Amino acid sequence: MAIQWYPGHMTSARKKAAETMASIDVIIEVVDARLPEASTNPVVRELRLQRQRPCLKILNKADLADPAATKAWIDYYNRQEGVKAVALSCKHHGDVGRIPSLCQPLAPHRNDNTKQLRMMIMGIPNVGKSTLMNALVKRKIAKVGDEPAVTKSQQTHQLSVRHAITDTPGLMWPKIEHPSDGLMLAASHAVGRNAIIDEEVAVFLADLLLLRYPALISARYGFPVEGIDGVAVVEGIAIRRALRMRGGEPDFEKASIVLLQDYRTGALGRISLETPETRRMMLGERLQPASDADNTPAPDAA
């Protein structure tokens, strides 16, 4: 299943972001730590390269991701020119409070009391931008929701006399090139439900978990996983949770939603859907950091 999701308001959001970036010093790009490259929007990179803006890349929801995979991604991104990568959880205010000081070295020309550091938060829907914004401003100014694309307009706020920040709507790109990226994004609730079929996404997720985290499935649902596939995992969840349709057949749809919710909330454990190595294997080519100097897209840009 090829997943595509590009609501109409995102075209105007992209134009507005491009206009605002002209007066911004540092781009704060928020991605999902469980799928950092699949949740990296190539449009964001394109816009900031055009304006030659540095980037603080925040791998949010790091408390839900596999720590070893997150470390590999941080090392990968920190080798890119003009990029500083950090892993954190926007729900932890102590982590969020470090963000202005992390941005400052990326814009040394704004390191005095006369020139305000201007930052802009960008990223795809539902990666935690609004939660981050609320924590930075220390009050609820951005709507937070379970569904993607809650924020529809830009907001700028003064954090201090030295720091200003602009929040932007979640921005997708017109075509998701790799089908597995679409499925990872769907599993992580970054695309609208009207664009996906829960059962297909759940089977994809179950197959991936069988490959990389089989013990977490057994621990959560209480059945062995040797020799089974993703379909059998979802059916097993339905049986163990007594999710049945009229007539007694396992309710595959409800079981699919259970699996997706358990992954999204972290009930399954700390899981990363991709690593630099698995990304390289998926693309069948060598993974190299992007060079901002020559404006050449990274070979793993989704």
- Strands 83-87 and 55-60 come out as parallel
Angle, vertex CA 265, rays to CA 197 and CA 128, nearest 5:
90
Q: What is the DSSP string of 65-98?
A: S-HHHHHHHHHHHTTSTTEEEEE--TT-HHHHTT
Q: Which pLDDT value is given to residue 302?
A: 31
CATH, domain 197-280, list 1.10.1580.10, 3.40.50.740, 3.40.50.300, 3.30.413.10: 1.10.1580.10
- List, in sequence order, every beta strand (DSSP E) within the chain: 26-32, 55-60, 83-87, 117-123, 155-158, 163-167
- Report the amino acid identity of residue 141: I
Q: Which pLDDT value is given to residue 5?
A: 58
CB burial of 140-158 (b: ≥16 within 10 Å; e: otherwise) equals: eebeeeeebbbbeebbeee
CATH, domain 9-176, list 3.60.15.10, 3.40.50.300, 1.10.3720.10, 1.10.260.40: 3.40.50.300
Q: How many Cβ atoms from other residues are within 10 Å of residue 239's Cβ?
A: 15
- From first to last of the 302 residues of the chain, give the pLDDT tens digit: 567 655 656 677 778 888 899 999 999 999 999 999 999 999 899 999 999 999 999 999 999 999 999 999 999 999 999 999 999 998 888 889 899 999 999 998 887 777 899 999 999 988 988 889 888 888 776 665 555 444 556 888 888 888 999 998 888 888 888 999 999 999 999 887 766 789 999 999 999 999 999 999 999 999 999 999 999 999 999 999 999 998 899 999 999 999 999 999 999 999 999 999 999 998 875 444 544 444 433 434 33
Task: Kindly list the domain boundaries of the chain, sorted by start residue.
Answer: 9-176, 197-280
